[in-house]
Chain A
């Protein structure tokens, strides 16, 4: 079964540094998402992406965050200047078509981001 893959599995970064988290969505999927899960807390939506632009974003997704689909397969999340509170597990997801209501999202294994 096709999977969403994320790299790296664990990223350790100094506070203030830029970090890029990478995702390869399922190949025929058109919608892409990033979620995060701070340790001990629930999974929170960050952003959705369709047709090379942001479709929706949450309050968490401020100017420090950006997403990009640099080529036909990768989908990246960049945090420009990391803060301690950015430490979390970041999940990428993809779905075939529009609408979280009736199109299941398939999740990657996540990248654990640790900010020192």
Chain B
């Protein structure tokens, strides 16, 4: 089983700034990792996922994440954030066969 941890609770950036949100995972066999986003008042949406292969994963809306095995990390990045990226971001990993373990989330506020 895997678990994840997120250490940035709230990040505030100006528009056009670069973003990196941290996610660390605990090793538990095959590593599968997800990033979800929750816009205000909306449901969780899958941003990107890593199963195997290329450690640099491209997702929707210009987001990407890099799986670095030596650092047990799967950080989310975006080169230039927009006001519309204001949301809560959750790193997640499967634990057990059918459920997801979510990190505590990072609230991103982008200032116009």
Are B98 and A33 in contact (CB-based, < 8 A)? yes
Q: Could you say which residues of chain A place their CB within 8 Å of the CB of B49?
A: 104
- Name the residue on B nearest A108 (C-beta): B43
Residues 24-48 of chain A, each 1 if its beta carbon lies under 8 Å from chain B, else 0: 0000000101010000011111001
Are A58 and B99 in contact (CB-based, < 8 A)? yes
Q: Could you say which residues of chain A place their CB within 8 Å of the CB of B97?
A: 55-56, 98-100
- Residue of B45, B98, B102 with most partner-chain A CB within 10 A: B98
CA gap between A50 and B105 in the complex, in Å: 28
Are B94 and A100 in contact (CB-based, < 8 A)? yes
CA gap between A66 and B30 in the complex, in Å: 31
Q: Which of B33-77 contact A (CB under 8 A)?
A: 34, 36, 41-46, 49, 51
Are A56 and B43 in contact (CB-based, < 8 A)? no
Are B44 and A43 in contact (CB-based, < 8 A)? yes
Q: Could you say which residues of chain B place their CB within 8 Å of the CB of A45?
A: 95, 99-101
CA gap between A50 and B100 in the complex, in Å: 16
Beyond A91-B43, A109-B42, whether A56 also contacts B90 by CB under 8 A is no
Are A101 and B99 in contact (CB-based, < 8 A)? no
Q: Which of A77-105 contact B (CB under 8 A)?
A: 91, 93, 98-102, 104-105
Are B98 and A43 in contact (CB-based, < 8 A)? no
Q: Could you say which residues of chain A place their CB within 8 Å of the CB of B82?
A: none
CA gap between A41 and B90 in the complex, in Å: 11
CA gap between A91 and B102 in the complex, in Å: 13
Given known contacts A91-B44, A100-B94, what 14 new A-B pairs fall within 8 Å (CB)?
Answer: A33-B98, A35-B102, A41-B104, A44-B102, A56-B97, A98-B97, A99-B98, A100-B96, A101-B32, A101-B94, A102-B32, A104-B34, A104-B49, A107-B44
18 A-B contacts (beta carbon < 8 Å): A33-B99, A35-B100, A42-B90, A42-B102, A42-B103, A42-B104, A44-B102, A45-B99, A45-B100, A48-B98, A55-B98, A99-B97, A99-B98, A100-B96, A102-B32, A104-B34, A107-B36, A107-B45
